Chains A and B, each alone.
Chain A
Amino acid sequence: MALRLPSKVLKHILSFIDSNEDRNSVSLVCKSWFETERKTRKRVFVGNCYAVTPAAVARRFPEMRSLTLKGKPHFADYNLVPDGWGGYACPWIEAMAAKSPSLEEIRLKRMVVTDECLERIAASFKDFKVLVLTSCEGFSTDGIAAIASTCRNLRVLELRECIVEDLGGDWLSYFPETSTSLVSLDFSCLDSEVKISDLERLVSRSPNLKSLKLNPAVTLDGLVSILRRAPQLTELGTGSFAAELKPEAFTKLSKAFSNCKQLQSLSGLWDVLPEYLPALYSVCPGLTSLNLSYATVRMPDLVELLRRCSKLQKLWVMDLIEDKGLEAVASYCKELRELRVFPSEPDLDATNIPVTEQGLVYVSKGCRKLESVLYFCVQFTNAALITIARKRPNLKCFRLCVIEPFAPDYKTNEPLDKGFKAIAEGCKDLRRLSVSGLLSDKAFKYIGKHAKKVRMLSIAFAGDSDLMLHHLLSGCQSLKKLEIRDCPFGDTALLENAAKLETMRSLWMSSCFVSFGACKLLSQKMPRLNVEVIDEHPPKTRPESSPVERIYIYRTVAGPRMDTPEFVWTLHKNPEIGVSKLAIK
């Protein structure tokens, strides 16, 4: 007699399992495990909003309390996806409003959210607690006001890098007059002024507030006043630091910061004048996260600040920090786990090179816990990459952006193949990789073979031929997301490795050499993939062999989507167009 676990027992066991990856595995064991798991899952994550229908998700998970959705492909962040492509939140909100009224948390990334949508959220979910919108667009501050006024138990309202139609700062006054349950508020992406008195009153009646991120319109005076009312903050995003330096202003600011004894994370700092930085010194020893990516501060001032941040785990900074500054980081910030260095001069002709590969080498050598890197610079060497791989085999995320496309190792003039080979081989836990510089097909042979745990791979201006794509799609065991731009790939590698695409979340290719004919063939061959050709010139008017501008392929159980704009072609839209024969081995 087979041993069966009573569902009550299984339910109890599952209550300890939070990871959705584990839960997905559990649900594959057998039908009864599938049933028990689905009835107990509270946090639902959908990585591609077109991979499954909202109704199916609502049906499967009746106890859903938290929904996370992602819409547009990642390259939309860099203007590679035309406006109007899709990623609408409304159908999801409608479905959840009808089937999951107990939903408490909604997190959306790269989606189009309208005011009507926000009003629906406010009206439909009685115990709504958390709204986090990242890189979303399509709504105005009116929608925010609706959330603020109606969701009485709102704990988290975060607008991270959204494009919002800003109709003014009134929305802030819509929060309940009595005390609020706010724990986190982020309106850093809004442009217009909010009334300081509204903000002061809100902060005063939000005793649980731990995280507050202001927008650039909030002045230093405003900041001081807020800090006085919320010394318990653990996360702060300041407003603009640009103000005429008056001694009393500086003293007040210093004092306000020194009273915030629990501050762990600091960001904002727009237009910070170096003379104001010493006001932050008192909080430095406690900081674990510091985002200076909008602070154009020179190296000496940065070092003076950073040498006090011995507990720092996350640092985002401009390349004005220079190699020398990174050397200082390597010696003072021994707890560093994540480093991002952004270009201060994103012009392609930039010849002022504030950071070189040496800066990253310093940090790799000095910071033993370093596991996540995003680094922009103008040139690199194989030797540096090899050193980084050797020193930091624990890297989980390595994104190198050599701004000059096709830039070889500037010391040897060779491609950066050997360097990235070392990274792929040496960093066995690497989950995310972005490559750049001059790379031949060989580099991708190494990556395909050795990067066994890489789930997301980003490639631009690289490779010699289809072999490159073939290496990646036939290797890279764990690959889930592949995004490629301006590489010489064509049809052959794509069609030969079509089956791989069903094991991945998505593939994006833009400005490559994929022909319209191949897209049609792939569509026909693989019904469980949505193949989208995103092209400003309608494919009908072009010959089969001509390359398409962009192609976005993703697996789906939802079938073809019905909300495509004119410039997106799918087989479903034009089934009468036959598939041409292609000369492929």
Chain B
Amino acid sequence: MEFSNSCSSFSSSSLDSTKPSPSESSVNLSLSLTFPSTSPQREARQDWPPIKSRLRDTLKGRRLLRRRDDTSLFVKVYMEGVPIGRKLDLCAFSGYESLLENLSHMFDTPIICGKRDRKHHVLTYEDKDGDWMMVGDIPWDMFLETVRRLKITRPERY
């Protein structure tokens, strides 16, 4: 039985890199579901995973509390092009140098601060205003107050 389906009216968004192509079904759909891919820019959704509002709100509140705790500061780290990220406790580092050293070890490639260029992996961070900034511009303590997450960019290609 042939099932046809038109989904041309849906706008295409980029496909999730972890989702394989459609298997042996008779329909070849280009799925452009509304669910965003595993990029770090993904916003917190209110409807997934399926937990009730009370639990969701409680957990959100807890995350804010934990930020103010002096003993640890966990942030997520992504390398561009790699869907699975890592988590890092920034309080474990004394400064930018030890952070870079550790990250380079974690991702098995040299990572630097500074401007994007053709050769290097460069570390950037998202601050509390949601802007992506170069790591290393501000004093380490201030950095700890404002950093939300980290992204390691790939060397630029031409």
Contact = CB atoms under 8 A, between A and B. Distances in A.
B55 A293 contact: yes
A33 interface: no
Interface in B24-51: 24-27, 29, 31, 33-35, 38, 40, 42, 44-51
A585 B2 contact: yes
Nearest to B49: A403
Contacts of A78: 47-48, 50-52
B80 to A, nearest CB: 14
B110 interface: no
B4 interface: yes
A161 B84 CA distance: 35
B20 interface: yes
Contacts of A490: 3, 5-7
A166 to B, nearest CB: 14
Dominant SS among interface residues on chain B:
loop
A404 B19 CA distance: 11
Interface residues of A, number: 56
Interface in A350-366: 351-352
A294 B55 CA distance: 7
Contacts of A352: 74, 87
A406 B76 contact: no
Interface in A380-416: 401, 403-408, 413, 415
Interface string A497-516: 00000000000000101000
B9 A77 contact: no
Nearest to A270: B58
A346 B9 contact: no
Contacts of A543: 9
B42 A348 contact: yes
Interface string B11-27: 00000101110111111
A128 interface: no
B7 A547 contact: yes
Q: Pick from B29, B47, B58 the residue with the most CB of A within 10 Å.
A: B47
B8 to A, nearest CB: 9
Interface stretch (A4-12, A200-208, A329-337, A457-465): A457-465
Interface size class of B (residues with CB under 8 A): 35 or more
Contacts of A460: 48, 50
B150 to A, nearest CB: 12
Nearest to A549: B34
Contacts of A344: 59
B85 interface: yes
A78 B52 CA distance: 6
A80 B47 contact: yes
Nearest to B15: A406
B33 A486 contact: yes
A273 interface: no
A25 interface: no
A403 to B, nearest CB: 5
A470 to B, nearest CB: 8
Contacts of A342: 51, 55
Contacts of B58: 270, 294
Interface string B80-108: 00001111000000000000000000000
A316 to B, nearest CB: 10
B14 to A, nearest CB: 14
Interface of B: 1-7, 9-10, 16, 18-20, 22-27, 29, 31, 33-35, 38, 40, 42, 44-56, 58-59, 62, 74, 76, 78, 84-87
Given A349-B38, A488-B7, 6 more contacts: A78-B50, A347-B44, A352-B74, A441-B25, A464-B23, A585-B1
30 contacts: A77-B53, A163-B53, A189-B54, A343-B49, A344-B59, A348-B45, A351-B84, A351-B87, A352-B87, A376-B49, A405-B48, A406-B16, A407-B18, A440-B25, A441-B23, A460-B50, A461-B33, A465-B5, A465-B22, A465-B25, A467-B1, A467-B25, A486-B35, A488-B31, A488-B33, A492-B4, A513-B7, A543-B9, A545-B6, A547-B7
